[in-house]
Amino acid sequence: MNRQLLIGTALFCTAMAVLLFGRLLPLSAGTARLPGPDLGLCLALAWVLRRPDQLAAPVIALVFAVQDIILFHPLGLWPAIVVLGTEAARLREGRWRDGPFMVEWLRTAILIGMMMLAYRIIQVLFMMPVPALGQVILHYIATAAAYPPVVLAARALLGLRRITPVEAEHMRFTR
């Protein structure tokens, strides 16, 4: 295995474990609050769009499946949708690489919205408990708004940067 792949996978798994630990902390006991962003989803999309060579789809599936188990969500549905969404982003990474960040943010927000819509439609089709639409919309807005700070934090704390054209060409030949 490639050393960069191992380092990237280890960093991603560590960052996701820290985010999951933060979600489990009882920060506001007993008070109703607005739904927060899905920082893990933002991190996964940022990672796939910046370093597609460092993060494999099975790792993403495993991390989000563990998150489902720990948070008592329907097992496997959200990880499957996240893998489909991140792979769709990975396929378009080459075309999105040279664009401005605002366009990337818009495309990512649309992708997040489509993923959340697919999740909700499947929940309704299979008669699963569905959260209130207002809460889902607020969760989407918070997640889309959190994408730029997550990208900035990943760059500052984890050194996550876009691949260069030379690295992209090297990736293309090593596949």
The token pair at 130 is 């569905």
Q: What is the DSSP letter of 25?
A: S
- Concatenating the DSSP letter of every residue in 112-155 gives HHHHHHHHHHHHHHTT-----HHHHHHHHHHHHHHHHHHHHHHH
Alpha carbon 87 to its chain centroid, in Å, reads: 11
pTM of the model: 0.89
Q: Identify the CA nearest to 83 among candidates 47, 111, 58, 53.
A: 58
Kindly report, residue by residue over 72-118, the tens digit of the pLDDT: 888 889 999 999 999 999 998 878 778 889 999 999 999 999 999 99
Stretch among 25-29, 41-45, 110-114 having the lowest mean pLDDT: 25-29
Kindly report, residue by residue over 121-132, the tens digit of the pLDDT: 999 999 988 989
Is the pLDDT at 34 greater than 80, yes or no?
no
Task: Identify the pLDDT of residue 30.
Answer: 60
Is the pLDDT at 7 greater than 90, yes or no?
no
Residues 6+ apart with CB under 8 A from 39: 19, 146, 150
The token pair at 6 is 């191992």
Q: Where are the alpha helices (DSSP H) in the chain?
A: 3-24, 39-50, 57-71, 77-96, 101-125, 133-158, 165-174
Kindly report, residue by residue over 131-156, the tens digit of the pLDDT: 899 999 999 999 999 999 999 999 99
Higher pLDDT, 63 or 160: 63
CA 38/CA 25 separation, integer angstroms = 15
Q: Please count the residues of the chain.
A: 175
